[in-house]
């Protein structure tokens, strides 16, 4: 009985230490004024999913360079992300999350709360997939119900459920004492634009991104009164593992442009859809 009580006390003490350390780390980077959507992103708490490689990894690097505290989520931590965390002086922490699994998302957000995160200023829902096996099921004849559901779980359900659980636990939305807002950047693709579709194919991927665009609009309407704002982000055709090395730009150029979009460099990113260069995209 005494051993059990000691274990509970030890666990409680460890949680208290984690929360205290998190507050101390945030104090070293926290900006002087409450965050307002489309402000410069510096001295803030930023969450990035799909952080282990490609655009997500570069976003983490750039946010650290701008003096932010970064909470990174990914299915498998890469050597590059682990090295970045070790060199960050505690400003980058990495946790497991599979955005295609609702329970995993809930546990990830629970972990943020338990570690002492009180408010997330900027959320980058960056994790995504082209398909279950790259581009192998891109045309009509190879498209299956199973493939479409898999892609939807990651690309559409993942961002929506991340917002749901962050809001549910009070990490975004009303209740922030200083009036801080949150900006959620959902990384979509102009491949999801009906107007831009001039080449066909890509049934699962196109549809999942179109659906995300519509969900982004609904969340924008529902959570605006609570200070949660949303932006759609088109990263361009980027040379990453997801695109199998195909593309026109590298991940750092894309990530840098996306941050500029979120900071309002090209105009109101909540009511206009911009790509990484600031070019407007039709729906």
Q: What is the pLDDT along the chain (283 residues), one digit of tens a residue?
A: 444 444 444 445 545 544 555 555 554 455 668 999 999 999 999 999 999 999 999 999 999 999 999 999 999 999 999 999 999 999 999 999 999 999 999 999 999 999 999 999 999 999 999 999 988 999 999 999 999 999 999 999 999 999 999 999 999 997 566 889 999 999 998 888 888 787 899 999 999 999 999 999 999 999 999 999 999 999 987 866 665 666 568 899 999 999 999 999 999 999 999 999 999 988 7
At residue 193, the pLDDT reads: 80
Q: How far apart are CA 123 and CA 257, in angstroms?
A: 16
Q: Tokens in use for 167?
A: 């809001």
DSSP 144: -
Q: Could you give phi then psi for residue 249, rounded to 5 degrees?
A: -135, 165
Q: Tokens in use for 258?
A: 């996306």
At residue 8, the pLDDT reads: 43
0.85 surpassed by pTM = yes
Half-sphere CA count of 34, side-chain side, radius 13 A: 10
């Amino acid at each position: 009985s005494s051993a059990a009580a000691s274990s509970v006390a030890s666990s409680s003490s460890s949680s208290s230490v984690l929360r205290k350390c998190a507050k101390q780390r945030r104090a070293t980077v926290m900006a002087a004024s409450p965050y307002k959507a489309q402000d410069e992103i510096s001295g803030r708490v930023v969450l990035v999913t799909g952080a282990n490689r490609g655009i997500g990894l570069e976003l983490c690097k750039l946010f650290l360079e701008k003096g932010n505290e970064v909470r990174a989520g990914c299915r498998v931590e890469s050597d590059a992300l682990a090295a970045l965390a070790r060199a960050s002086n505690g400003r980058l922490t990495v946790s497991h999350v599979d955005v295609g699994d609702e329970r995993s998302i809930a546990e990830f957000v629970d972990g943020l709360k338990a570690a002492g995160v009180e408010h997330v200023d900027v959320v980058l829902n960056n994790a995504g997939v082209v398909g279950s096996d790259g581009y192998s099921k891109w045309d009509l004849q190879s498209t299956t119900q199973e493939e479409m559901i898999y892609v939807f779980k990651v690309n559409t359900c993942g961002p929506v459920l991340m917002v749901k659980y962050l809001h549910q636990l009070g990490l975004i939305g009303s209740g922030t004492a200083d009036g801080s807002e949150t900006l959620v950047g959902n990384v979509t693709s102009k491949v999801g634009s009906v107007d831009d579709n001039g080449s066909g194919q890509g049934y699962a991927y196109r549809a999942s991104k179109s659906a995300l665009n519509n969900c982004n609009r609904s969340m924008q309407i529902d959570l605006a009164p609570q200070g949660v704002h949303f932006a759609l982000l088109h990263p361009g055709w980027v040379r990453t593992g997801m695109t199998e090395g195909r593309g026109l730009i590298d991940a750092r150029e894309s990530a840098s442009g996306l941050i500029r979009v979120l900071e309002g460099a090209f105009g109101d990113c909540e009511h206009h859809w911009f790509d990484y260069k600031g070019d407007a995209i039709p729906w």
